[in-house]
Amino acid sequence: MSVKKIRVIVNAIPLMNVKTGIGRYVESLYSTMERQYSDLFEFRYFDGVGAASSLPSGARDLDHWSSKAALFWKLPPSLSFLIRLALHHVRERRLLSLSRKFDVYHETAMFPFRVQDGVATLLTVHDLSLERYPQFHPAERVRYFNRFFGKRLRLADAFVSVSDFTRHELLSAHDLDSRTVAVTPLACDKDLFHHRQGEEVEAVKRELGIRGDYFLSVGTNDPRKNLPLIFEAVHGSPDTQMVIAGWSGWGGKLPGGVRDVGYVSDQTLACLYSGATALVYPSLYEGFGLPVLEAMSCGCPVVLTREASLPEVAGEAGCYLSGPRAVEELVSIMERLGTDEAFRREKSAASLERAELFSWERTALLTKEAILAAYRAKHP
C-alpha cells in the first residue's frame, strides 16, 4: 500500500535572478531533497507565476537582468518601493490560489506570502541584516522588509536558520518558541567546488587576464562586505594583485587597483578559488558566509573577521583579523600567505578538512525534519 506523499510548494523566485547566496541555497538544497526524499514529498517550485515540476534555471540574459536591477535602484525609493509592493501583491495572489493544492509551503527568502488555511508554512531565515543594519541596504528594500517581516513571522509554523548565530539573533529579537526554530547549516556542491588542477586554473586565468599570484574576494559589492578594508590593504601593498568576483549588487563601482571579473560561472569560480593565494572575506555581518565554505572546499585558505556567523563556518581553519578595521593586520596576513609556502599549505589542508564537515545531504535531512515539524504543527 502506497503512502500519500506530502505536497510541498517551494518559493523558487530567488532562482529567477542572478544566482547569489539564496539562489544557491534553493538549487542545491532541493536538488538534494529530490534525490533523497521523493518517496516522502512531492515538490513543486513557485516561480512567481506558476508551480513548476522542476527548479527554474535562472535568468536567461544576466546582462539584461543586471541592467534592469541597476535601473531599479536608481529610481526614487518611494517609487521603487511601490513597484516592489505591487509585484509582491501579484505574486501573493498567485501563490494563494496555487497553495490550495499543497500541504506545506517553504518560504526560502525574506518572509512568507499568505497561503490557504490548512497549509503549513516553513520559513528559512538567512540573516537579520535588514533589521540590524538597515544602513547597508537600499531604502526601499528596508521599507519593504519593515512593512511585512515582523507581522508575517506569525504565519510560520516552523523555522529554519542557516547558522546558530542567526537562530540566536532571531530568538533574541522576536517572541518565538525556540522549539520551532531549527538550524540547517549551508553546504556547497563538492562536485563543483573541489580543488582544480594547474592547467584548468591557468586556462581560467588566461581567459580573465589574470597574471601571476592573486588574492580573491567574492560576493556582492554591498557595504556589509567591508570591501574598503581590502582596497586599503591593496593600496598599502602595491605588489598585491586582488581579484574581485561576483555580481556588483547595490554597492556602486569598484575603485582602481583591483581586477573586477564580475559575475562568473560556478566552474570558473571554483578555478579562481583553487588558484588564489587566499580568499579575503572581512565581512561585517553574515548569516552564514557561503563563499568561505566554497573556498575551503577548493583548498583555498580564508582570511576573515570573527564577526557574526563566520567562525561557525571557518572554525580553526580561518586566518582571523582582530577586528573589521584591522588593515595593517590584513596586510601582514596576506604577506605571510604570499611568502610562507609551508604556512599556506597548512591553512589549505585545514580548509579542506573543515569543509568536509558540511554537506547538502545533512542539510536536506535537517530540512526534511523541519518540513515534517511544520506539517505536524498544522495537522497534529
Domains of the chain listed by start with CATH number: 6-187+359-378 (3.40.50.2000), 198-355 (3.40.50.2000)
Label each residue of the chain as H, E or C. Answer: CCCCCEEEEEECHHHHCCCCHHHHHHHHHHHHHHHHHCCCEEEEEECCCCEECCCCCCCCCHHHHHHHHHHHHHCCHHHHHHHHHHHHHHHHHHHHHHHHHCCEEEECCCCCCCCCCCCEEEEEECCCHHHHCHHHCCHHHHHHHHHHHHHHHHHCCEEEECCHHHHHHHHHHCCCCHHHEEECCCCCCCCCCCCCCHHHHHHHHHHHCCCCCCEEEECCCCHHHCHHHHHHHHHHCCCCCEEEECCCCCCCCCCCCCEEEECCCHHHHHHHHHHCCCEEECCCCCCCCHHHHHHHHCCCCEEECCCCCHHHHHHHHCEECCCCCCHHHHHHHHHHHHHCHHHHHHHHHHHHHHHCCCCHHHHHHHHHHHHHHHHHHHCC
Burial class (CB in 10 A: 0-12, 13-18, 19+), 45: buried
Q: What is the mean pLDDT of residues 149-157?
A: 97
For the record, the C-alpha cell of 359 comes out as 554537506
CB atoms within 10 A of CB 151: 10
Percent of the chain at pLDDT > 70 equals 95
User: How confident is residue 258, by pLDDT bands cut at 50, 70 and 90?
Assistant: confident
What confidence score (pLDDT) does residue 216 get? Answer: 98
Helix 266-275 and helix 198-208, axial crossing angle in degrees, nearest 10: 110
Look at the alpha carbons of 351, 352, 354, 360 in this order and tell me if their dihedral is positive or negative. Answer: positive
8 A C-beta contact, residue 217 and residue 245 = yes
User: How confident is residue 61, by pLDDT bands cut at 50, 70 and 90?
Assistant: low
The amino acid at 126: H
On the CB side of 195, how many CA atoms lie within 13 Å of its CA?
14
CA 56 to chain centre: 17
What confidence score (pLDDT) does residue 71 get? Answer: 81
Q: What is the pLDDT of the chain when averaged over all its residues?
A: 93
What confidence score (pLDDT) does residue 249 get? Answer: 62
Task: Please check the confidence at residue 229 and state whether its pLDDT lies above 90.
Answer: yes
Q: What is the mean pLDDT of residues 146-167?
A: 97
User: How confident is residue 223, by pLDDT bands cut at 50, 70 and 90?
Assistant: confident
Task: Dump pLDDT digits (tens) for 341-353.
Answer: 999 999 999 999 9
Q: What is the mean pLDDT of residues 6-26?
A: 91
The amino acid at 224: R
Q: What is the mean pLDDT of residues 213-228?
A: 90
The amino acid at 253: K
Enumerate residues 6+ apart whose C-beta is below 8 A from 240.
215, 233, 234, 334, 338
User: How confident is residue 253, by pLDDT bands cut at 50, 70 and 90?
Assistant: low
